[in-house]
Structure 1
Amino acid sequence: MERMSIKYFVNNNSLGPNRNISSVGFEEIPPNTSYPTLNHSAGYYFNPDKGRILTEYQLIYITEGEGVLETRSGGVFTIKRGMIFVLFPGEWHTYYPNYQTGWSHYWIGFCGPEVDSWMTNEYCSKESPVFKVGINDEIVSLFRKAIDVANEEPTLYQRVLSGLVTYLVALMCSIDKNLQVENDDFSSKIDYACVLMKELIDQPVSMQEIAKKAGMGYSLFRKLFREQKNYAPVQYFQNLKIQKAIELLTTTTIPVKEIAYRLDFESPAYFSARFKKQTGKSPIEYREDFRIK
């Protein structure tokens, strides 16, 4: 995934006053980098030394690095990889990554009186705004889907985003409160490797590099990955690329050649051969059949 993907919605009333998605994005803050960057709109940029108050809720999911969150009601929290923290409207807060580590984070902002009823409950409060969910593949997929929907803006996209947020909040609370985070260290590393593959799907990366990033030797990584996912790492990564190709073929008009290069296949011919082997159709045939349906 690109180091930054940000989408803001200005004065969007497609859902009326009850529910509204205001922003969604992903940003990687490398180590030894000032924060926040200048990529945010005026309504969101802030000075971490002074903090700020928003008029919306935000969910912020840290997938790399660590840092600090401070809120008026909750105090100071150490934030680490695998945590989601909630920012509440009208609540003073500040947050920032450690300068030495940086961090990577997804976020989504939303507001409305209908939202208040399910964000203010026994599982979610201003006093306890931090949720431990681990590096969860499903949660990453939900954030990535939200970013894709926001960028494409299909019909009723705000309703789709609203549904994603509702599910995301419920899943976040469930994992945290029911202690469903997998405690086994190796299992967590394999899950993290899967997340890395999705985030690096359009980049030239080897499975040895993925194993190293996940903190494992390659031989052990390959063995445990196959045991847990029933696929070799390379095959799993190829499957992700084909799934992404199907998405691009059916939702965009991007040429097949460009899709091949975007997903880092050796050549369009190799991409077409791999695609047909897995789906039974060439990319062009698959796109045409989808349009006919």
Structure 2
Amino acid sequence: MRIFKKYIDPNPEIDSKNYGVQILNLGHNIHPPHKQYPDQDHPEGYYFNWEKGRYLKEYQLVYISSGKGTFEANGLPPQKIGPGTVFLLFPDVWHRFYPDKDTGWEEYWVGFHGDYAKYLLEQKCFSPENPIISVGFIPEFLDIFSNLIETIETDNQLLKKMASFHLINLLGIAYTSVLKNNRGLSHKDKTIHKMQNEIHAQWNKSIDFELLCNQYKVSYSWFRKSFKEVLETSPSQYLLMLRLRNATRIIQETNLSISQVAFECGFHSEHYFSRIFKQKMKLNPTDIRKDKNHSTE
């Protein structure tokens, strides 16, 4: 499996004064269960062990998209974190974290500094004492991370300058999530987000929505209506798009055949998978594989 895992040095051609943020490092990693964390090949200056923890000279935003683990910082007692969680790391603030040994986790991160970043992260809603943010499963969040990775990987300096704007978008979503969390969620929102988490945990399996409703003691009609009100799409469409986005990632990161990808993502027919993929994603699965092969030549 191809895993994006890369640290980059500041590019002198990208003047942070013009954008207010400058990206220092960036990455994506799937850390499997029962493996040492961090990996032994973690770059010097960023590696840490649990006993000593770590200090950084920069800001970092870390997003856990799957799995769970523990986070501790600046005297904050150990906090359990799960999928859909962002935690912020502040300069010169001690911290440590690790994934649960039984689940591992999938993590995205970006390290940065700059005047705008400093201004935003000094707002009252952000603080080293409350660095954990529940962002949830926002497709745009991962899309922006993907765009950020693509712009960093390109040799086009003009496109690389867009990286700062992608980072600002990530910080904007985190900021909005903090404000929303501070206002408090209604019982309906909390219930739907819990059910949403269940869907993410079982995304490639056959999900019985009525059984899920029984588990949370709500009617199926209430669930369908409330889900669409909160997430602006139906449960079935949400699950479908979740599977297609994961299928895209698997095609990009593995050499599995399209048929294998279809079954891996919960589709029982390669023909249906290819047809619905083309309909929703506006291109064929094989086109993604061609792009992948071309980019590695």
Same fold at TM > 0.5: yes
Three-state SS of the structure 1 residue aligned to 2:123 is coil
Amino acid at match of 2:86: I
Structure-2 change in CA distance of 1:175 and 1:9 (3 Å): same
User: Offset at 1:57?
Assistant: 0.9
User: Offset at 1:55?
Assistant: 2.5
Three-state SS of the structure 2 residue aligned to 1:147 is helix
Structure-2 change in CA distance of 1:195 and 1:101 (3 Å): closer
**Do structure 1's residue 190 and structure 2's residue 188 form an aligned pair?**
no
Equivalent residues, number? 267
**Distance in 1 (alpha carbons) for counterparts of 2:250 and 2:35:** 33
Give yes or no for contact 1:62–1:84 (8 Å, CA) kept in 2: yes
Give yes or no for contact 2:71–2:98 (8 Å, CA) kept in 1: yes
User: Offset at 1:146?
Assistant: 1.0
Q: 1:61 aligns with which of 60, 63, 73?
A: 63
CA-to-partner distance for each residue in 1:212-251, whole Å, 9 max, x for gaps? Answer: 9x89759979766533135353x443344557889999xx
Give yes or no for contact 2:213–2:223 (8 Å, CA) kept in 1: no
Q: How does 1:238-257 map to 2 (within 5 A)?
A: 238-241=240-243
User: Offset at 1:150?
Assistant: 0.8
**Do structure 1's residue 20 and structure 2's residue 34 form an aligned pair?**
no
Q: 2:111 aligns with which of 102, 109, 112?
A: 109
**Distance in 2 (alpha carbons) for counterparts of 1:39 and 1:195:** 30
**Distance in 2 (alpha carbons) for counterparts of 1:215 and 1:97:** 30
Amino acid at match of 2:108: Y
**Distance in 1 (alpha carbons) for counterparts of 2:32 and 2:5:** 14
**Distance in 2 (alpha carbons) for counterparts of 1:25 and 1:93:** 20
Structure-2 change in CA distance of 1:69 and 1:260 (3 Å): same
User: Offset at 1:187?
Assistant: 0.8
Amino acid at match of 1:188: H
Three-state SS of the structure 2 residue aligned to 1:106 is strand
Give yes or no for contact 2:148–2:167 (8 Å, CA) kept in 1: no
**Distance in 2 (alpha carbons) for counterparts of 1:66 and 1:274:** 35
**Distance in 1 (alpha carbons) for counterparts of 2:105 and 2:284:** 37
CA-to-partner distance for each residue in 1:156-197, whole Å, 9 max, x for gaps? Answer: 444443223223323323332443564534312233245457
**Distance in 2 (alpha carbons) for counterparts of 1:171 and 1:281:** 26
**Distance in 1 (alpha carbons) for counterparts of 2:239 and 2:4:** 22
For 1:161, the equivalent position in structure 2 comes to 163
Give yes or no for contact 1:67–1:103 (8 Å, CA) kept in 2: no
For 2:224, the equivalent position in structure 1 comes to 226
Three-state SS of the structure 1 residue aligned to 2:96 is strand
Give yes or no for contact 1:69–1:79 (8 Å, CA) kept in 2: no
Q: How does 1:6-155 map to 2 (within 5 A)?
A: 6-18=5-17, 19-21=21-23, 22-30=25-33, 32-63=34-65, 64-71=67-74, 74-81=75-82, 82-99=84-101, 102-126=104-128, 128-133=129-134, 136-138=136-138, 141-151=140-150, 153-154=153-154, 155=156
CA-to-partner distance for each residue in 1:72-120, whole Å, 9 max, x for gaps? Answer: xx54442422543211223333223455665544322212344223222
TM-score, normalization by structure 2:
0.66
Give yes or no for contact 1:190–1:225 (8 Å, CA) kept in 2: no
User: Offset at 1:58?
Assistant: 0.7
TM-score, normalization by structure 1:
0.66
CA-to-partner distance for each residue in 1:31-85, whole Å, 9 max, x for gaps? Answer: x4432223532332222211222232111234532313122xx544424225432
The answer for unaligned runs of 5 or more in structure 2 is 289-297
- State the Cα RMSD in Å: 4.6
User: Offset at 1:3?
Assistant: 9.9
**Distance in 2 (alpha carbons) for counterparts of 1:273 and 1:101:** 33
**Distance in 1 (alpha carbons) for counterparts of 2:61 and 2:126:** 12
**Distance in 2 (alpha carbons) for counterparts of 1:168 and 1:272:** 31
Structure-2 change in CA distance of 1:180 and 1:191 (3 Å): farther
Give yes or no for contact 2:262–2:268 (8 Å, CA) kept in 1: no
Structure-2 change in CA distance of 1:176 and 1:114 (3 Å): closer
The answer for unaligned runs of 5 or more in structure 1 is 288-293
Amino acid at match of 1:8: Y
Amino acid at match of 1:94: R
